Structure formats: structure tokens, C-alpha cells
Structure 1
């Protein structure tokens, strides 16, 4: 009798202290050191999960390597799924080093990414800060797809457009036309404004990456935090993402231009399920 191979899978809600809020992510530990599934297998699993991101990780000689897949593509950086993966390794997988350290480093397409845990239950991502420029070319589909009030500024980062509005109410009122936004040449579109009870608020639209509106986008805060730190004259910020599920984040900008600017992005994680994938 042959045994069907299987893998463990976890689903967690990131950047929230409440189950069924924040951003759900799947995490699949690959138990053999340095051994990945094929790209087709990982993309198929991510499509079957139909979540914004599914993270896969392997152990390496120096720590861990992580990769992220939306239902349609592999992406270069994902905050909430990295936060969820850190939680899995620290608290659920009983990795040999998870009880003796409060920090781990993932190798990734975006370079080394550190995840730390603190005594208050929060996890912190240490990500490279994005570099923003005023958008020299504004695709017609960008504003046509967003509709709503006229924005104050439009910037372009490494992967996303960022559109700045005057008020939180402006952000809340947007009803995007995703048929238009999907044609914008970017990973996605960040919209942001000052918050009423936090430093800034945002939403993230990513039909180009297979998800119309992402509930909470940790990686977008590598773009948002440097902008708002400069605008508000402070390096520690509190943020809220205004999706239907909602999310709450703490951000801290550090480093220098010479050493490389980085952003600490902190949040909480709630476990939804543990299961098994039959391959």
C-alpha cells in the first residue's frame, strides 16, 4: 500500500488581535532542508488556497528561505505572509532554534528579511524601505480606475503606484473599477491619507496580482512609512488599513541613505487553522 505524500499547512490572520480580521495568509513548511516543490506545484497550491498570499519556506544552512505566491503569480515581497511565517516557526512548528532566539532571518527575492518577537506578543518585520519618486508618467487607467475625489499627489515606488488624498473620508469613499486598474503597469496601487485616530490610513488594490483589494499589505508600508515619516517629521508611526477586514500596524523608519533605509513593521497574528495538503 502506497502512502500519498502530504504537507502541513497553516492559515493565520496577520496584523490583527482579532480572529477573522486582518489579512489571512497560508503558510506551508517544506520539511526537507533546501528542497523546494516545483514552481508549478507551489503556484497550484496558492491558486487552490485562493488567498492573497501563500508562503512556502525551507530551512537552509544559515536559517530559512521564503517565497510567496498569490493565486496567479510569484511575488518579490509580502509582509503579512512573512509575519505569519514567523509566527508559525516561533510558536507552531517547534523548530530547534525557535525557543532559544527572538529573531530569525529569511533569505528572499528582496534580500535578507528579519522577523523578531517581543514579550507583548507582537512580531516585527525588518524590511528594506522603498524609494519613491513623483510619477512622471501617470497611466490614464490609474485615475479612471480609482474614480472618487482628485488626489493631491501620485508617486511611483519599486513595484506600486501610491496615490495621496486629503482625508481619510476620501480613502473610505473610493469604489475602484478593477477592470481599469488591472491595466495599470504595476504590482498594485496604494491609496493613502492622514488618519483620524492614527498617523495615516491606506488601502491597497492589486488586481494585477490576482487580488482586487488586499485586506492588509505589510509590504506597502515600506512605501508608506518613508513618505509619512518625511511628511510628518517623525520616524515612529501608527497606521490603519481600511479594508473590510481592517488591520493595525506600527511602523518605524531607521537606517541611513549610506547604510540603507529600512522599515520595522509590527503586528499581531491569530491562528485560524492547521491542516494537511495531499499532493
Structure 2
């Protein structure tokens, strides 16, 4: 069997930036173990698969270790492939996913806008060992949604972080986001997910379904400019319209197109 595969750098206008995702269009679903093994072989933070279903598409995401409920950058990459490589003519793409229907539209400026459900993080106590595992002396606050959201005040502490990933994997959350205001953006973030097989994800669209509502409320802004990453970074625009949704926008760049043989 031969499958077409695209590798797209999501949340970047050029290759070598943002977050790479593999995208594999399918005519029909293959067995789950095959989907997982291909994702493991790709060894990217996410491999996305989609199958046309009527006027929309069924979309699934796999890390090298597990299938996940929501992935922003691989959704952006999938939409980019459909619009730019497969010449989909719809104005709005509708994806059926584990997280409900997700919509992606293409703006006149080339940005792809993803309409995701918002998640309001809840303040919690900082558990023992978390800051030590991150290499932080202190934090302003800790919130929880799918992830721990560790809020700090100094953006200069973000880039030097060198977490203990073994220690981080002991915490029962999808991932850990460390976020701070400033540095030319409304907020900046790094995201670590060793528990789901991703030590660091360069740009995590789904994390911004929690990050954007937090920063929108704190800064009193509905439109937010964001950057995520350590050595490798990507840029996002987030809108928090107040209707229980978050609009996450970014660009994509094709790195590779090829064939999988299985």
C-alpha cells in the first residue's frame, strides 16, 4: 500500500520554523495499530490523518506514542494541505474530531483561522516537585485544564529552561505550559509533554485554547499576539470573542511531500 504524505511546518511562513506535522490523506480508515505505527515511524510530535465524510472530513491525530483528543498545529497543517496542495474549494473546512467539530477558514492575508472550543483554566496549588522539575525558583500562579499552566513574570526565564522530563512525566496532566508576558508579544510560552511522548512541542495550538482565555482576561484584550518555542519558535494570533470559542490563526510552509510504503 502507498500513502501520500506531507510534512508541513505549522505556525510559520517559512520552512524550519513553527511546528512540523505529518499529514496523510486517506480514502478510508486503516487499523488503529497501523496509524499508530506510522506516527511512531514519522517521529514527529503529531501525524494527522483525514478521510472525507460528506461535505467535511473526519480528522485524527497521533503522537509517536498515543492518539490525542485535540491538536492545533496538525489541524492547521491538515487545512493547509487541503487548501494549498489538494486545492479544496470550500471557504470553510469542517473537521469531525474527538473534540467535536472544528472549523478552519482561510483569510485574505493567507492566515488560516481555526475555531476551537475555549477552556478556562482553574487555579490550583503548585504540587511538590513541579517547579524543581522545570528548573524554576518560583511562579506567579498555577492553573489546570488539559495541561498545567505555570505563569511566571519574567519572559527572560523562558528560553533557558531545561526541564527534567522524567520528573515532569510523573504529573498526571497532558502537558506543562510555562508562560509569561512580553518580549514583543502579548505572551510567550514553552510547552512540555513527556507523558504523551513529546518532551517539547515547539508550537501547541491546543494549549492556546486555555492560554488565550487566561491572557485575554488578565490583559483585558480580545486579540492577542503569541509566540511559543525554545530554540525553534512559531507565531500565533488568538481571538477570544467571549462565546466559548478561541480563534487561533497562523501560517504553514511545506517542507516535504512524498510516499509512505506499508
Determine if the TM-score, normalized by the shorter chain, exceeds 0.5: yes
Map residues 125-164 of structure 1 onto 2, 5 A cutoff: 125-136=114-125, 138-157=126-145, 159-164=146-151
> For the residues of structure 2 that align with 1:173 and 1:251, how far apart are their CA atoms?
25
> For the residues of structure 2 that align with 1:230 and 1:193, how far apart are their CA atoms?
14
Compute the displacement of 1:149 (Å).
Answer: 2.9
Taking structure 2 as the reference length, the TM-score comes to 0.97
The residue that corresponds to 1:59 in the other structure is 52
Compute the displacement of 1:93 (Å).
Answer: 1.7
Larger Rg: 1
> For the residues of structure 2 that align with 1:142 and 1:173, how far apart are their CA atoms?
17
The residue that corresponds to 2:91 in the other structure is 102
Compute the displacement of 1:165 (Å).
Answer: 0.2
**Counterpart contact for 1:14–1:24, Cα < 8 Å:** yes
Map residues 116-265 of structure 1 onto 2, 5 A cutoff: 116-136=105-125, 138-157=126-145, 159-256=146-243, 261-265=244-248
Aligned: 1:270 with 2:253: yes
User: Paired residue for 1:19, among 15, 18, 21?
Assistant: 15
Compute the displacement of 1:267 (Å).
Answer: 0.4
Q: What is the root-mean-square deviation in Å for CA atoms of aligned residues?
A: 1.1
**Counterpart contact for 2:159–2:231, Cα < 8 Å:** no
SS of the residue 1:199 aligns to: strand
Compute the displacement of 1:55 (Å).
Answer: 0.2
> For the residues of structure 2 that align with 1:253 and 1:168, how far apart are their CA atoms?
22
Compute the displacement of 1:21 (Å).
Answer: 0.8
- Could you list the runs of 5+ residues in structure 2 that have no partner in the other structure? none
The residue that corresponds to 1:84 in the other structure is 77
> For the residues of structure 1 that align with 2:50 and 2:124, how far apart are their CA atoms?
35
> For the residues of structure 1 that align with 2:140 and 2:127, how far apart are their CA atoms?
16
**Counterpart contact for 1:13–1:19, Cα < 8 Å:** yes
The residue that corresponds to 1:69 in the other structure is 62
Compute the displacement of 1:244 (Å).
Answer: 1.2
**Counterpart contact for 1:161–1:189, Cα < 8 Å:** yes
User: Paired residue for 1:43, among 36, 45, 51?
Assistant: 36
Compute the displacement of 1:131 (Å).
Answer: 2.1
Structure 1 or 2: larger strand share? 2
SS of the residue 2:159 aligns to: helix
**Counterpart contact for 1:26–1:49, Cα < 8 Å:** yes
* Count of aligned pairs between the two proteins: 262
- Could you list the runs of 5+ residues in structure 1 that have no partner in the other structure? none
SS of the residue 1:173 aligns to: coil
> For the residues of structure 1 that align with 2:128 and 2:62, how far apart are their CA atoms?
28
**Counterpart contact for 2:158–2:230, Cα < 8 Å:** no
Compute the displacement of 1:28 (Å).
Answer: 0.4
